[in-house]
Chain A
Amino acid sequence: MPLAQWLKRAQSLPGTPGACVLRADASEYLQLARDAAASGARLLSLWAADESAYAAYLTDGGVLVAQLQNLRAPTGGAPLPGLAELFPVAARLERALFDLSGLRSSDPDERPWLWHGAWRRDWSPLGDAPEPEAAHGSPATGGAQYPFVRVEGEGVHEIAVGPVHAGIIEPGHFRFSVVGEKVLRLEEHLGYVHKGIERRFGQLALLEGHRLAARVSGDSAVAFSWAYAQALEGMSGVAVPARALSLRALMLELERIANHLGDLGALGNDAGFAFGLSQFLRLKEHVLRATEAAFGQRYLLDALVPGGIARDLTLAGEEALALEMRRLTHELPRLRIIYDEHAGLRDRFEGAGVLSPQLARRLGVLGLAARASGQALDLRADLPWPPYDELAPRKCVRAEGDVASRVALRFDELAESCRLVSALLERLPSGAHRAELAAPAAGALGIGLIEGWRGPALIALHAGQEGRIARCHPHDPSWQNWPALEHAIIGNIVPDFPLINKSFNLSYSGVDL
């Protein structure tokens, strides 16, 4: 049946505009997934809390959460219907769900994902049982014994890379099956920076969780802390002052600008053009210094608080930011021409690491990587939350899906973000920068969803007793996009992997949690 029929049964949820929840049994849970897939919706995330499993879909009207209840009741078989055939991202999400919550899905791949042998397999970090005595002095060795899929054939050999990489980069393992220089298959094995974020959330008060949310993936601190605040504020019913909302949007765009600048520099460098690294990292440093002048922090890890922002913007801060926007608007077009006209860069960028629009759609790819492969998805324009509903952000899309499109998209989005920052500065509302809020009632569920620089950052927040967090589930778009990288590298040569990987620039911390 069409999704609209399901939506009639759904109850609205606080937080991001259009969020709603629908209680389902196992057959409805599966049927809803089929109908969602048929309607073009995307599976955002899966998590478990209390006795329920939750699946969040991104539909045209907002986030639809399917709640599968009474999971602990004996059913004889896997309690959770597998969704991997409908939504490829579900495969790893379900493996992680088993590792953390002990819920097995009916999908065939039962290999561990986050579990590397560091804790007893029969203990679930997000279950009710107390934490077992720490096993010190016996480091987890499961990473080395992971059963990768083998490619057989004459001349095929494997290259194992990581978890420690040759550079300043997060850890993860890549297993390449190659013939000569050509990549036949890449399989990723992540989980190395799993540090127990979701269990840690359960030890915090609702009013302090935003600090941990900001550290889910440090490069997306504003996106995640805003998503957290949006969920919490929705539940508590507080009206966030207009000035705070505008300044949050300003911060979100500054985060996008800083990351895009860093990526453009690194992409030039990975193609042997050190000039690009120097130029873009210089511009990025200026933006970070202006951000510090404006908000007291270079990376805004503690700038956003429930109810508003930690520190109001002063006139001097406004001027520092306006100056940087003028600098970028003046310099970026010049640098873009240099990148566009550089024969060596074009040779490396064009046609490398292609993710076709069809595949991007099938894999449910999100954010920047999706927009570079023809998917016109940007929550700031599609499901605008305040103040984006009044900003009319321009959606940038490219069709080719290669490294060159992901480079071009970053240039496009930089120009648009500079425009948005300038527009926000020009008509900054006056008034308070923070409102007091009370902790919401126990049992409530709030959903936060913010389009960060990498893509949509999701927070599902379950309120507990006495102002505590019962459960908080963060979801980074890298979950959707890591499998796309495995496809984009096929047929390319091994030395192009760093460049292709950088063009996606996915988070390890954000998915390892």
Chain B
Amino acid sequence: MLKTLRQIASIGIVTEPAPASDEQLRLIRRLNAAIEARLARALTIRHVDAGSCNACELELHALNNPLYNLEGLNVRFVASPRHADLLLVTGPVSRNMELALLRTYEAVPDPKLVVAAGQCACTGGIFGESYASCGPLSRVIPVDVNVPGCPPTPRHLMQGILAALTTPSSAARS
């Protein structure tokens, strides 16, 4: 126990306090403000891998490391789509996942936001459209924001989530 406490004390808080001129700090402030305005302090995300190569998932995990500390911004990944405000989908939609994705989408209560995360969800990526892949996510469900990148960096993902909260199209739909 003592060693654990010593480790915690010696590492301290590593969550990045970006300098005032930094884009990341502005991003965090804007994200907080948008969550406050739209959702009363917390945003919940349900992630669905609809055919990804699993690189996008690595970056989604990184969002919760102590340097990005997404949970510290009141953004949380939840287990049930019924608890979610936002559906974040990775991968070109494989035909074998299409039904499970549609059911998850239907289970998210309205008004709901959808982020297509990664090149494959945006355009079909390197896998494209085929007998096994539907291609871009927007073919299957309505998408609010596309976040390209292979995989998108944690910062790009944070920006994408912010964009979903602030785009007029999503406001109109809700």
Contacts and interface: CB of A to CB of B under 8 A. Distances in A.
B3 interface: yes
A434 interface: no
B151 A140 contact: no
A197 B134 CA distance: 13
Contact of A194 (B11, B67, B96, B139): B96
A96 to B, nearest CB: 13
Interface string A190-209: 01111111011000000000
Interface stretch (B18-26, B124-132, B162-170): B124-132
A466 interface: no
Interface string A129-147: 0011010100111111000
Contact of A282 (B54, B56, B66, B131): B66
Contacts of B27: none
28 contacts: A118-B131, A125-B131, A139-B98, A139-B99, A140-B95, A163-B100, A164-B81, A164-B100, A166-B80, A169-B57, A170-B52, A171-B49, A171-B100, A196-B130, A199-B132, A200-B128, A215-B127, A216-B53, A218-B52, A218-B56, A219-B55, A275-B4, A285-B62, A301-B150, A302-B150, A507-B54, A508-B54, A509-B54
9 shortest A-B CB distances, which residue pairs? A218-B55, A166-B79, A196-B132, A118-B95, A281-B65, A139-B98, A139-B99, A218-B53, A215-B53
Given A136-B139, A509-B52, 14 more contacts: A116-B96, A139-B95, A139-B98, A143-B99, A170-B54, A171-B97, A193-B52, A200-B126, A215-B126, A219-B54, A282-B65, A285-B62, A288-B62, A507-B54
Interface residues of B, number: 55
A164 B48 contact: yes
B60 A200 contact: no
With a 10 A CB-CB cut-off, give which of B58, B79, B102, B151 has the most chain A CB atoms.
Answer: B58
Interface in B10-51: 11, 14, 47-51
A73 interface: no
Nearest to A220: B54
A168 B91 contact: no
Interface of B: 3-4, 7-8, 11, 14, 47-62, 64-68, 77, 79-81, 91-92, 94-100, 102, 104, 126-134, 139, 150-151, 153
Interface in A62-114: 114
A341 interface: yes
Nearest to A286: B67
A492 interface: no
A74 to B, nearest CB: 28
A278 interface: yes
A176 B164 CA distance: 38
A194 B98 contact: no
B111 to A, nearest CB: 21
Contacts of A221: 55
A193 B91 contact: yes
A218 B132 contact: no
Interface on chain A toward B: helix, strand, loop, or mixed SS?
Answer: loop
Is the interface on chain A under 10, 10 to 19, 20 to 34, or 35 or more residues?
Answer: 35 or more
Given A168-B77, A193-B97, A195-B132, A217 B64 contact: no
A388 interface: no
B97 to A, nearest CB: 5
A298 interface: yes
A11 B89 CA distance: 47
A335 interface: yes
Contacts of A262: 58, 61
Contacts of A121: none
Nearest to A335: B7
Contact of A167 (B58, B65, B79, B153): B79
A184 B126 CA distance: 41
Contact of B47 (A131, A168, A200): A168
A366 B38 CA distance: 50
Contacts of A301: 55, 150-151
Nearest to B47: A168
B131 A509 contact: no
B3 A341 contact: yes
A334 B97 CA distance: 43
Given A193-B94, A279-B11, A507-B54, A132 B131 contact: yes
A284 interface: yes
Nearest to A292: B153
Contact of B51 (A167, A193, A211): A193
A299 interface: yes
Contact of B7 (A116, A123, A192, A334): A334
Contacts of B3: 334, 337-338, 341
A118 to B, nearest CB: 4
Contact of B55 (A194, A215, A281, A342): A215
With a 10 A CB-CB cut-off, give which of B58, B59, B131 has the most chain A CB atoms.
Answer: B131
